[in-house]
Structure 1
């Protein structure tokens, strides 16, 4: 039930980027398109890594449930911040990207 050191490191880096983006939104304000878009992308990256963690063999059901819940929460948050970024300038939706090998 161990997450690989590589995956752990990538999750930690993504979460640090998420924290930085969150702090930037706090400083700049939710109506700052760039800050909102950065938070949307950072949230999506954390969600994608939660999904990778869910693929770890032999996770107990309760850990798996928590990991899926975390991924869903970050995905939802990503969509919300993406909508805020787009509303700031009235543009069409920007698709979040995935970093796990282009999947």
Structure 2
């Protein structure tokens, strides 16, 4: 899977609340670096994190801009909450040779 396909698939899984599909995008030893610097490491922990997010009925992120490299893709995201507040983040996906996520770094804009 190329970086753009990976990003599209990732957001399809988020929109569809497809936990199994989401987890399949990550390598077994993948790491997610959260905006506060904490890390979620390993596919079992990543699955638990997404299970919580999807179960909490979190807003669906809408991709805004994408920058693609040979083994990486960065996506700016906007999410509108139920109260109309907009939050922006950026996801940096780092892929292995097979097109799976080995590291996902998430950054946020503003103080929320």
Q: TM-score, normalization: structure 1?
A: 0.33
Higher helix share: 1
Higher strand share: 2
